[in-house]
Structure 1
Amino acid sequence: LSVASEMPSRLFKRSRFAAQDYNTDFDAHFLRWMLSDGAGAVLLGGPKALPQANGLRLKLKWTHQRSFAGDYPVCMQLGLTPDRSKSHLDFPAWGDAEAAGALSLRQDIRLLPHLFDVCIHEYADLAHKGWVPERGIDHFLCHYSSERFIPVVDDLLGKAQLSIPRERWWSNLAWRGNTGAASIFIMMSEFLQKEGKRLKAGDTVLCFIPESGRFTAGYMLWEVELNTPVNQALQANFPHKIAASETIANDALPDVSTIAAPHDPATAPQQLAPLLTELASIWQDYRSNVWRTPLLRRIRTRELQSGDYVRWMSHWIPQVREGSLWMREGAASLTGDYATLASLIDLHAGEEQNDFKILHSDYLKAGGTETDISKLRRNPGGEALNAYLHGLAATPNPIGLLGAIYIIEGTGQRIVPSLLPLLRAALPLPPDAFRFLEYHGANDENHLERWLIAVQMALDLDTEGTAQQAILQTARHTAAMYLMQFQHVLAE
């Protein structure tokens, strides 16, 4: 038995707003007109089934929930003044806190589009892992607080090539309102009452529940089946481990728009959209995990010390020095039709062959003392990545290296620019101690455009149909090892 209820009306009494002469901020007024009271419950029979009329029942195939609370600022909160500078506990009395608006429930509506973005990326990841039937979804119950978000969800699903025709969508928002945690249960109940006669055995019902308090993506997939007795144990339909994200209690985040996937599938040539969609899902997991490493947490909370920065640079210098080497080695391994890619990769390697010198200069300006670069050592993550890329580059036609470049250059284009303002604000270092990070962020966008050309050429030349999977596999492996490099920066 799963139960949920909401009673926000107590927070939105007219008398409370009248006490402030209705002179409150839009974020507080927004929720006043968006939330409704309600309660709902689901009782599951055995095994994991919801009995229905017409000799049918709904069988719960799987649930999936993932929190992104550590990745974004708080979107919905109660207890702070409108500018979030003062807590209700800082006032001499509750009445003073109320008068100052510190006891009003607020939502930062500017963050809401990002909620749907991360949720649809999470759904795309589930689809690519086989959780969603290939034939698609028959009925889509989407919980959204406003009909203004319908085209947002629809557009994002389209970009992910997972569109669900609008005639398959169903919502009771217009007459029940947004009842928060209870919404999906109330929606399911009315859907079955009003649309139950249209259901047939084999139909799928997808419930999508985005939660904006601290961003959470939730999904349930149901299947309609004949209501026949089941005596044997429930088969393991989808033995996937549910992703759970560790949360970090810190809101000192950079602009979330700077950490999107390096390439938007919607703006790329049509034949590249499937590949870029899967790469975006890989990026989503990688970026989220990087944001939780000790190094990034220390940067975000302004606790990073100059010595930490020097240590990070000392690990990174020998890795960057090897970058142009494995790229050239990979270009030399291209044969046959793929040899036409060699000059493009060599050009890219040539532009980056002296980048490690800029990084070494930053290291010295920040207080590093080792002038002999050959004595600097990569950490375990850097060693693993270096060995993997050199090994792959030595194989015939290592097209998968394009997947590695996507992650590496994407880190420079998306993650590094987000960190640079925080590093400058936190560390008492001269401006020329951050030249490499600044250069990386400014130039990697051009590098990624060249990468897009190389990928298109590789797929056009692929006669065996293996290039796309090679790129995806290498991107996954590179993301795992680059993440390991971030994880080991502060490890003794």
Structure 2
Amino acid sequence: MKQHVLTPSGQTCLQKLLKVWFEFDLALSKVGIIKRLEHGKLSQTDYQKLLLNLRQQVIEGSRWITRCASSFDRDHSDIRSSVIHHAKDEHKDYLMLEKDYVSAGGQLEDIQTAEKNIGSEALHGFLMYRASQPNPVDLIGAMWIVEGLGNKMAAKWASLVDEQFGAEPSMAKFMKYHGENDEHHIEELYQLIDRVATNEHVIAKIEKTAKVVARLYALQLEEVDNV
């Protein structure tokens, strides 16, 4: 896919978001459950816990994205349309994750009734708060982190799961799907960055929201070992 060519302001914003991503990537590498996954020491119970805790964030994803879309006024109708399309693409992804959980030996009722861990509560609360503000363009920073995980990490993690458990069929279809299909969402983000990153104030807001979401997402994963 041909990458959108950013304006100078868009490039400035992208550089700041890339820096946030690199710091986030480093933070993830220090989280217990991710360290075990990346070092071939993840147990099947660990994997079940990872999916169970991720499901709570995934199922809420389309809610904050839809709320975000509804908060844009008519002067931002093109952004609203793009965000609605994004929510439509992903609002049933949690069903795929539930199937992986059952394939990994979990009980469907357990993942469907589990509560959010404290990191997920904090992440969802922040995202819904920001999404409820008028014209919440800073949530492009949140999308950068969440979609970046799918685009940059999901395929890698799926391969590691397959290597460690050798299950057939794969127990990582949710991760594989995002690793293969999130590229076009990243391209849409480049276009949105160009659309809204018009001055230093807006760029700073996008960067800050990306940093908050990165920290809360890492907290969500840290809490997998505490539930």
TM-score range, shorter chain: over 0.9
User: What does residue 421 of structure 1 align with?
Assistant: 159
Considering only CA atoms, is the larger Rg found in Structure 1 or Structure 2? Answer: 1
Work out which of the residue numbers 48, 53, 68 in structure 2 matches 1:310: 48
**Are 2:148 and 1:410 aligned?**
yes
User: What does residue 485 of structure 1 align with?
Assistant: 220
Q: How does 1:14-25 map to 2 (within 5 A)?
A: none
Shift of 1:370: 3.0
Change (3 A) 1:314 1:279: same
**Are 2:82 and 1:344 aligned?**
yes
**Are 2:180 and 1:445 aligned?**
no
Work out which of the residue numbers 14, 25, 47 in structure 2 matches 1:276: 14
Change (3 A) 1:297 1:314: same
Residues of 2 paired with 1:428 and 1:303: CA distance?
A: 14
Letter in 1 for 2:75: D
Residues of 1 paired with 2:143 and 2:169: CA distance?
A: 28
User: What does residue 113 of structure 2 align with?
Assistant: 375
Q: Is the 8 A contact 2:6 2:194 kept in 1?
A: no
Shift of 1:317: 1.1
Q: Is the 8 A contact 2:161 2:171 kept in 1?
A: no
Tell which deviates more after alignment, 307-316 or 423-432.
423-432
Question: Please, which runs of 5 or more residues in structure 1 have no aligned partner?
Answer: 1-263
**Are 2:111 and 1:386 aligned?**
no
Letter in 2 for 1:385: L
More strand by share: 1
Work out which of the residue numbers 98, 122, 129 in structure 2 matches 1:360: 98
More helix by share: 2
Q: Is the 8 A contact 2:55 2:97 kept in 1?
A: yes
RMSD over aligned Cα atoms? 1.9
Residues of 2 paired with 1:434 and 1:481: CA distance?
A: 24
Aligned residue pairs, count: 225
Change (3 A) 1:336 1:469: farther
Q: Which deviations, in whole Å up to 9, do the C-alpha atoms of 1:51-78 show, x marking residues without a partner?
A: xxxxxxxxxxxxxxxxxxxxxxxxxxxx
Change (3 A) 1:372 1:290: closer
Q: Secondary structure at the match of 1:477?
A: helix
Letter in 2 for 1:410: G
Q: Is the 8 A contact 1:338 1:458 kept in 2?
A: no
Residues of 1 paired with 2:176 and 2:7: CA distance?
A: 30
Residues of 1 paired with 2:57 and 2:16: CA distance?
A: 27
Work out which of the residue numbers 473, 477, 485 in structure 1 matches 2:208: 473
Residues of 1 paired with 2:34 and 2:65: CA distance?
A: 28
Q: Is the 8 A contact 1:365 1:430 kept in 2?
A: no
Tell which deviates more after alignment, 451-460 or 380-389.
451-460
Residues of 1 paired with 2:138 and 2:88: CA distance?
A: 20
Shift of 1:441: 0.6
Q: Secondary structure at the match of 2:30?
A: coil
Residues of 2 paired with 1:459 and 1:298: CA distance?
A: 38
Change (3 A) 1:379 1:428: farther
Shift of 1:373: 5.3
Question: Please, which runs of 5 or more residues in structure 2 have no aligned partner?
Answer: none
Shift of 1:335: 1.4
Residues of 2 paired with 1:370 and 1:281: CA distance?
A: 38
Letter in 2 for 1:290: L
Q: Which deviations, in whole Å up to 9, do the C-alpha atoms of 1:158-177 show, x marking residues without a partner?
A: xxxxxxxxxxxxxxxxxxxx
Shift of 1:315: 0.8
Q: Is the 8 A contact 1:362 1:435 kept in 2?
A: yes
Q: Which deviations, in whole Å up to 9, do the C-alpha atoms of 1:357-376 show, x marking residues without a partner?
A: 11111111111103375412
Residues of 2 paired with 1:352 and 1:332: CA distance?
A: 17
Q: Is the 8 A contact 1:314 1:378 kept in 2?
A: no
Residues of 2 paired with 1:372 and 1:422: CA distance?
A: 24
Q: Secondary structure at the match of 1:431?
A: coil
Letter in 1 for 2:218: L
Q: Is the 8 A contact 1:332 1:342 kept in 2?
A: yes
Letter in 2 for 1:479: A
Shift of 1:418: 2.0
Residues of 2 paired with 1:361 and 1:269: CA distance?
A: 42
User: What does residue 192 of structure 2 align with?
Assistant: 454
Q: Which deviations, in whole Å up to 9, do the C-alpha atoms of 1:287-343 show, x marking residues without a partner?
A: 011011111211122111111101111111121111111111011011142233101
Letter in 2 for 1:319: Q
